[in-house]
A = this chain, B = another copy of it.
Amino acid sequence: MTTAAEPSENPDLRAVDGRVPGRRGMATRQRLLQCTSDLLETTSYRDLKVVDIAREAGTSPATFYQYFPDAESALLALADRLVGEGGQRLIQPLRSADWQGSNAYLACEAVADAFLDFWADHSALMAVIDLAALEGDQRFRDCRIQLLNTFTVAATEVLTRQRDAGFAAAEVDPEATAVVLVSMLSHVAAHQLGITQAGVSLEHLRDAMARVMYNSPLGKTDTFGTTI
Q: Is A190 an interface residue (CB 8 A)?
A: yes
Q: Is A33 an interface residue (CB 8 A)?
A: no
Q: Is A49 an interface residue (CB 8 A)?
A: no
Taking a contact as CB atoms under 8 Å apart, the answer to whether A183 and B211 are in contact is no
Determine which of B131, B176, B204, B211 lies in contact with A207 in the assembled complex, contact meaning CB atoms within 8 Å: B176
CB under 8 Å from chain B, chain A span 49-88? none
Give the residues in chain B near A204, CB-CB below 8 Å.
173, 175-176
Distance between Cα atoms of A152 and B200 in the complex (Å): 12
CB under 8 Å from chain B, chain A span 106-155? 127, 130-131, 133-136, 141, 144-145, 148-149, 152
Chain A contributes a number of interface residues (CB within 8 A of B) equal to: 60
Q: Is A186 an interface residue (CB 8 A)?
A: yes
Q: Is A37 an interface residue (CB 8 A)?
A: no
- A105-B227, A134-B190, A187-B187 are known contacts. Are A179 and B195 too (CB-CB below 8 A)? no
Give the residues in chain B near A130, CB-CB below 8 Å.
134
Q: Is A208 an interface residue (CB 8 A)?
A: yes
Q: Main SS of chain A's interface residues?
A: helix
- A184-B184, A194-B141 are known contacts. Are A215 and B221 too (CB-CB below 8 A)? yes
Q: Is A172 an interface residue (CB 8 A)?
A: yes
Q: Is A102 an interface residue (CB 8 A)?
A: yes
Distance between Cα atoms of A148 and B188 in the complex (Å): 14
Q: What's the number of copies of this chain in the assembled complex?
A: 2
CB under 8 Å from chain B, chain A span 176-225? 176-177, 179-184, 186-188, 190-191, 194-197, 199-201, 204-205, 207-209, 211-212, 214-217, 220-224
Taking a contact as CB atoms under 8 Å apart, the answer to whether A183 and B184 are in contact is yes
Give the residues in chain B near A191, CB-CB below 8 Å.
134, 183
Taking a contact as CB atoms under 8 Å apart, the answer to whether A208 and B145 are in contact is no
Q: Give me the interface of A with B, judged by CB distance under 8 Å.
A: 44-46, 101-102, 105, 127, 130-131, 133-136, 141, 144-145, 148-149, 152, 172-173, 175-177, 179-184, 186-188, 190-191, 194-197, 199-201, 204-205, 207-209, 211-212, 214-217, 220-224, 227-228
